């Protein structure tokens, strides 16, 4: 993939963020998702690539989606697998909450895990703790490993967990261990990525969330030198059969190279609402401002980009990287 593609992809997430941010706090998650999806599709189709969606919006949302198998790009350029979540955190935007993102990841054709749309148990850490955690180990053992890797006490470790009834046991074990906890209502892509940046204050992510989001987060963590492990959690016979038909062993622990093979992969995200990592979209009369991150696994380059977009004519960019 050409380096110039990284900047082209930021245009996609910026457009989706600008479109969906208009719906912040208005209680209409599907409308916000639809706006992000339409904007993302429009810009994707201007990019010189032969892209195929291998991970689209979650079917769980029952919202308009960039569907699996959809072709994106001009039809010229590199052949790529595309994983998208035009609005990671539809409920977040609907309620005006924290950490909603427009996100995507691309890799050479055949290199992204075609994760079925079901739950996945996940464990994510930043670069310092790579190789020191194990999704099959206890919460306490993983906390000890991260504390040792980051030269801090367990009481100073911050764990992110989706605030769901299914995570009551994890939360109880974290509290018993004395760790600090950041409970999030939605958006575990952001939760996973935040483990790789010291300034977010997050050290480890525990718990289950969507499997497709795990693949997107894996591309980001691969670019950042972090780690994610996963185990698929089919909830019924139909989901189990779906895994079998895709040739996926549900008992297998998925590691980084299972999520994304090779190192030629790109991740891009734009903040829709404010979060630890990215500022959300702001509308300032004649223009809107965006804050994005784009990463390329092959080079390890991470760019934070501030965009300024005219609201009176076709959006343009003023970038600072």
Known binding residues for Mn(2+) are 33, 57, 85, 88, 213
Q: How far is 183 from 315, CA to CA, in rounded Å?
A: 36
**Residue ranges of the binding site:** 33, 57, 85, 88-90, 119, 164-166, 186-188, 210, 213
CB 267 within 8 A of CB 104: yes
Question: What is the C-alpha radius of gyration for the chain, rounded to an integer number of angstroms?
Answer: 19
Asked if 1 contacts 78 with a C-beta cutoff of 8 angstroms, the reply is: yes
C-beta separation of 207 from 167 below 8 A: yes
CA distance 271 to 128: 26
Q: Number of H helices and number of E strands within the chain?
A: 9, 13
Contacts of residue 284, Cβ cutoff 8 Å, sequence gap at least 6: none
Instruction: Name residues whose C-beta falls within 8 Å of residue 46's C-beta, 6 or more positions apart in sequence.
Output: 74
User: Binding site for substrate: residue ranges?
Assistant: 88-90, 119, 164-166, 186-188, 210
The structure tokens listed for 283 are: 């509308």
24 contact partners, CB below 8 Å, separation of at least 6 = 32, 93, 96, 272, 273, 280
Which of these, 268, 297, 19, 250, lies nearest to 118 by C-alpha position? 250
CA 69/CA 263 separation, integer angstroms: 23
Which residues fall within 8 angstroms of residue 288, CB to CB, at 6 or more apart? 18, 21, 281, 282, 308, 309, 311, 315
Q: What DSSP designation does 52 have? A: E
CA distance 30 to 65: 10
């Amino acid at each position: 993939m050409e380096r110039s593609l990284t900047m082209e992809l930021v245009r996609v997430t910026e457009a989706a963020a600008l479109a969906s941010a208009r719906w912040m706090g208005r209680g209409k998650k599907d409308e916000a998702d639809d706006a992000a999806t339409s904007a993302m599709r429009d810009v994707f189709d201007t990019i010189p690539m032969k892209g195929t969606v291998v991970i689209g919006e979650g079917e769980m949302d029952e919202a308009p989606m960039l569907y699996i198998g959809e072709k994106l790009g001009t039809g010229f350029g590199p052949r790529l697998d595309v994983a998208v979540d035009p609005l990671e955190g539809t409920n977040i935007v609907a309620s005006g909450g924290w950490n909603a993102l427009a996100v995507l990841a691309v890799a050479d054709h055949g290199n992204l895990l075609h994760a079925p749309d079901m739950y996945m148990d996940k464990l994510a850490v930043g670069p310092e703790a790579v190789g020191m955690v194990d999704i099959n180990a206890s919460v306490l053992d993983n906390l000890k490993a991260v504390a040792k890797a980051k030269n801090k006490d367990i009481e100073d470790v911050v764990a992110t967990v989706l605030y769901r009834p299914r995570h009551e046991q994890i939360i109880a074990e974290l509290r018993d261990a004395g760790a600090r906890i950041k409970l999030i209502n939605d958006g575990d892509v952001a939760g996973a990525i935040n483990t790789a940046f010291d300034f977010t204050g997050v050290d480890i992510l525990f718990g289950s969330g969507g499997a497709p989001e795990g693949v997107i987060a894996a591309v980001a963590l691969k670019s950042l030198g972090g780690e994610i492990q996963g185990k698929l959690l089919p909830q019924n016979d139909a989901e189990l059969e779906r895994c079998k038909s895709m040739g996926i062993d549900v008992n297998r622990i998925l590691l980084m190279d299972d999520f994304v093979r090779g190192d030629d992969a790109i991740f891009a995200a734009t903040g829709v609402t404010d979060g630890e990592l990215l500022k959300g979209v702001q509308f300032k009369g004649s223009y809107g401002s965006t804050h994005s991150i784009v990463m390329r696994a092959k080079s390890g380059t991470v760019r934070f980009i501030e965009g300024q977009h005219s609201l009176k004519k076709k959006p343009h960019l003023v970038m600072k990287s």
